[in-house]
């Protein structure tokens, strides 16, 4: 195959893959303009980092790690449900927190959502999140079956 045909084949492949990528902001969630709550390609779901806001963007649990973790997980539940998935479909999470010690005290809340099916996990402490009021943000990767 000559170079021009190879380039055209690559262009069609890239275009086809891009056409299969869905960027979704489910109902019942904030409707951001700079990112998508979930990006789907085939059976892969990539959930944006979720913070402790309600559907109107109000912060839930200011100064309270437990309340924030619960709201983050409720947001994740909504995003997953929009794709006919739940926490059992999540294979990897990354948790960003401003206080690892306070986050570790939320194990009972997390178990309510994950049960015995814990995903691979990375926990990172950082100085601050997108807004100083946020104490925790969790992003996830999930696999769904059709």
Average pLDDT over the chain, rounded to an integer: 91
pTM: 0.86
Token readout for 10 is: 């690559």
Ranges 12-16, 63-67, 75-79: which has the least confidence: 12-16
* Chain segment 26-39, per-residue pLDDT in tens: 999 999 989 999 99
| Domains of the chain listed by start with CATH number | 23-143 (3.30.1330.40)
Q: Which residues contact 4 (CB under 8 A, 6 or more apart)?
A: none
Total residues belonging to the chain: 146
* Chain segment 92-120, per-residue pLDDT in tens: 999 999 999 999 999 999 999 999 999 99
Specify the pairing of strand 90-97 against strand 38-41: unpaired
3-class DSSP assignment, residue 136? strand
């Amino acid at each position: 195959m000559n170079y021009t045909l190879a380039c055209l084949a690559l262009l069609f492949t890239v275009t086809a893959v891009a056409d299969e990528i869905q960027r979704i902001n489910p109902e019942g969630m904030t409707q951001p303009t700079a990112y998508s709550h979930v990006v789907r390609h085939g059976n892969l779901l990539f959930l944006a980092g979720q913070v402790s806001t309600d559907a109107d963007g109000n912060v839930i649990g200011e100064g309270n790690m437990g309340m924030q973790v619960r709201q983050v997980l409720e947001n994740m539940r909504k995003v997953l449900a929009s794709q006919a998935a739940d926490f059992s479909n999540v294979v990897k999470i990354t948790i960003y927190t401003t206080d690892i010690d306070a986050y570790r005290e939320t194990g009972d809340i997390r178990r309510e959502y994950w049960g015995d099916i814990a995903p691979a996990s990375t926990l990172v402490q950082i100085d601050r999140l997108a807004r100083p009021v946020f104490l925790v943000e969790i992003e996830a990767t999930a696999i769904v079956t059709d």
